[in-house]
Amino acid sequence: MARTFQFLTVDVFTGRRFSGNPLAVFPDARGMTARQMQQLAREFNYAESTFVLPPGNRANTARVRIFTPMDEIPFAGHPNVGTAFVLASLKKNKKRSTLLFEEGAGLVAVDLMRDRRGRVTGAMLTAPQPLQVGDRIPAQTVARCLGIEPSGIVSARHVPTVASVGLPFVIAEVTRDALGRAQADVQAFRDAATLHPTRGLRFSVFYYARLADTRMQARMFAPLSGVPEDPATGSANCALAGLLARLAPEQDLVLDLDVRQGVEMGRPSRLRAVAEKKNGAVTRIRVGGRCALVMAGRISLWRRTIAAMKRASVVDA
């Protein structure tokens, strides 16, 4: 016998299919084991896949588990935006404008975006945790990970720094030339992870170049988590907006960033990241964008092994 599960794929942080960041969503993963979730995430081989379960608290919308091809992670940006969009597209929780997801990093509120006709076009999440700023990472270490010269690291505003709103990233500013030339050096990532361990995700680097005051272009490498490069990283953009707002001299500020990512991969994405600062403290961070449905299907998880199926002549030897 087999259990059959529905899945949908959606491109996140884009209004067009075949761009943005792809995501696989299983809108009802009841009865699926954690091992099966990890295997399916590895099979899809997207940056992340999500598995929706009933909430622990009925006041919330769902419990959402997020897997990269290598790990389960406590929070991520595009999986929340894409999962909210999928559930709304399936007419689930259709009376709600805000969905509440229970995740490892805490409760994630996701506001649905609609067009003038009331159709859901995307979503915008609020980070589940306040900004946390961790270790500074030597520019030489980050440059080696990115395969660029240390001179490509821009330190005028901040040095490479670990920052998180639920998932940690090394955040570095680079020159525009270095942004385009960068290539992940996996051994350098392994070495850096040994020297600078971070909780929640194996060593990853989110780096950006300024196009204008609040317009950025960014990339993210996380090869140790099975993500050589991510087309759009909502959680990292949240951390970036929060970090820049914290560093800004203003005591009260709304920093609204327009970020392009995935350009070098041929998967152009556009994210809006907003950080609010009051009395010198960052109080709220959000990120969002549009989404586009791509595929829908069903997958059967067989209880019998392939060997048993062959013996039963279910498949050819």
Sequence-separated (6 or more) residues with CB below 8 Å from residue 163: 131, 132, 133, 134, 169, 171, 239, 240, 242, 243
Secondary element (H or E) of residue 136: strand 132-136
Pairing of strands 120-126, 281-302: antiparallel
The pLDDT of residue 91 is above 90:
no
Residues linked to residue 301 through DSSP beta bridges, in sequence order: 3
Average pLDDT over residues 81-108: 91
The pLDDT of residue 1 is above 70:
no
Q: Quick one: pLDDT at residue 90? A: 92
Taking the C-alpha atoms of residue 131 and residue 180, their distance in angstroms, rounded to an integer, is: 28
Tell me which of 45-54, 193-202, 285-294 is least confident. Answer: 193-202
Q: Quick one: pLDDT at residue 192? A: 94
| In the chain, % of residues over pLDDT 90 | 88
Average pLDDT over residues 235-242: 98
Handedness of CA 182, 45, 21, 102 (dihedral sign): negative
Q: pLDDT tens across 146-203, in order?
A: 999 999 999 999 999 999 999 999 999 999 999 999 999 999 999 999 988 765 457 9
- Cα pseudo-dihedral 282, 287, 256, 230, rounded to 10: 110
Taking the C-alpha atoms of residue 43 and residue 65, their distance in angstroms, rounded to an integer, is: 16
Confidence at 310, pLDDT banded by 50, 70, 90: low
| In the chain, % of residues over pLDDT 70 | 92
Q: Quick one: pLDDT at residue 43? A: 96
Among residues 110, 56, 57, 106, the alpha carbon closest in space to that of 83 is found at 110
Name the residue with higher pLDDT: 20 or 305. Answer: 20
The pLDDT of residue 36 is above 60:
yes
Q: Quick one: pLDDT at residue 175? A: 98
Catalytic residue positions, numbered: 48
Q: Quick one: pLDDT at residue 92? A: 65
Among residues 180, 139, 143, 178, the alpha carbon closest in space to that of 161 is found at 139
Strand ranges (DSSP E) for 212-304?
A: 215-221, 253-261, 269-278, 281-302
Instruction: Please tell me the pTM assigned to this model.
Output: 0.91
| Contact call for residues 42 and 72 (beta carbons, < 8 A) | no
Domains, the chain? 2-126+292-302 (3.10.310.10), 132-288 (3.10.310.10)
- Cα pseudo-dihedral 200, 128, 268, 72, rounded to 10: 30
Quick check: helix, strand or coil at residue 144?
A: helix
Q: Quick one: pLDDT at residue 304? A: 57
Name the residue with higher pLDDT: 294 or 303. Answer: 294
What is the CB neighbour count within 10 angstroms for residue 20?
29
What is the CB neighbour count within 10 angstroms for residue 14?
25
Q: Over the range 160-199, which residues count as b (16 or more CB within 10 Å of their CB) and which as e?
A: bbbbbbbbbbbbbbbbeebbeebebbeebbeebeeebebe
Taking the C-alpha atoms of residue 275 and residue 254, their distance in angstroms, rounded to an integer, is: 6
Taking the C-alpha atoms of residue 124 and residue 82, their distance in angstroms, rounded to an integer, is: 10
Handedness of CA 258, 133, 250, 126 (dihedral sign): positive
Q: Quick one: pLDDT at residue 315? A: 44
The pLDDT of residue 317 is above 90:
no
Please name the amino acid found at residue 133. Answer: V
Among residues 88, 92, 75, 76, the alpha carbon closest in space to that of 122 is found at 88
> Residue 221, Cα to own-chain centre: how many angstroms?
12
Q: pLDDT tens across 63-72, in order?
A: 999 999 999 9
Average pLDDT over residues 21-40: 97
Among residues 237, 240, 242, the alpha carbon closest in space to that of 130 is found at 242
Q: Quick one: pLDDT at residue 94? A: 63
Q: Quick one: pLDDT at residue 305? A: 46
